[in-house]
């Protein structure tokens, strides 16, 4: 099986050291104690389409999943990271201080088992990278730790 190659972007508020987290449709919102479930959030991104380069991919995916228009000039390439035995990721960084998550929306849909079209993302949060890392998918947590270690000047 050929490994998939995808992109992810860390949309970061450097003032609050917080990162935009996307809640995928179909994942639990609440844990048994009524709090937010850990290990269920992702960051914007997706697989590179045929004929598309990694920069075009991350701009497209961010638009589809958040409705944000990322500017090429503000995107910083962070590198290529091993993600899992099935997928590896090109990571980008995008600083933004005035993000209003209430205005974000997902324009990418998938068909569920019942034939109903559902948005790929059904909610957004901002999480602090130092104290809230456990909110992200466990495999993503490992990569985020590496990215933070590789770029301490970005994540203070």
pLDDT tens readout for residues 114-134: 999 999 999 999 999 888 999
- Give percent of the chain with pLDDT exceeding 90: 83
Global confidence as pTM: 0.91
Q: From the CB of residue 3, how many other CB atoms can be counted at a distance below 10 Å?
A: 12
Match 């992702």 to its residue by tokens.
42
Ramachandran category for residue 6: left, alpha or beta (phi over 0 → left; psi -120 to 50 → alpha): beta
Output the pLDDT for position 30: 59
Please provide the distance, in angstroms rounded to a whole number, between the alpha carbons at the two ends of the chain. Answer: 39
- Residue pLDDT, tens place only, 23-72: 998 776 655 566 667 788 999 999 999 999 999 999 999 999 999 999 99
Average pLDDT score over the chain: 92
* Residue 20 φ/ψ, nearest 5 degrees: -70, 125
- Tell me the domains of the chain and their CATH numbers: 4-150 (3.90.79.10)
Closest CA to 65 of 24, 96, 107: 107
């Amino acid at each position: 099986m050929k490994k998939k190659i995808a992109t992810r972007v860390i949309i970061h508020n450097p003032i609050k050291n917080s990162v935009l987290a996307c809640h995928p449709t179909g994942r639990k919102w609440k844990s048994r104690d009524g709090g937010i479930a850990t290990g269920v959030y992702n960051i914007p991104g997706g697989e590179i389409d045929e004929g598309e380069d990694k920069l075009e991919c991350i701009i497209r995916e961010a638009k589809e999943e958040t409705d944000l228009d990322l500017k090429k000039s503000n995107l910083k390439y962070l590198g290529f990271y091993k993600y899992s035995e099935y997928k590896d990721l090109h990571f980008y960084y995008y600083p933004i201080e005035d993000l209003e998550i209430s205005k974000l929306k997902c324009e990418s849909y998938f068909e569920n088992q019942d034939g109903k079209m559902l948005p790929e993302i059904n909610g957004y949060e901002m999480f602090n990278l130092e104290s809230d890392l456990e909110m992200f998918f466990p495999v993503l947590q490992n990569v985020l730790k590496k990215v933070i270690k590789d770029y301490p000047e970005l994540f203070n």
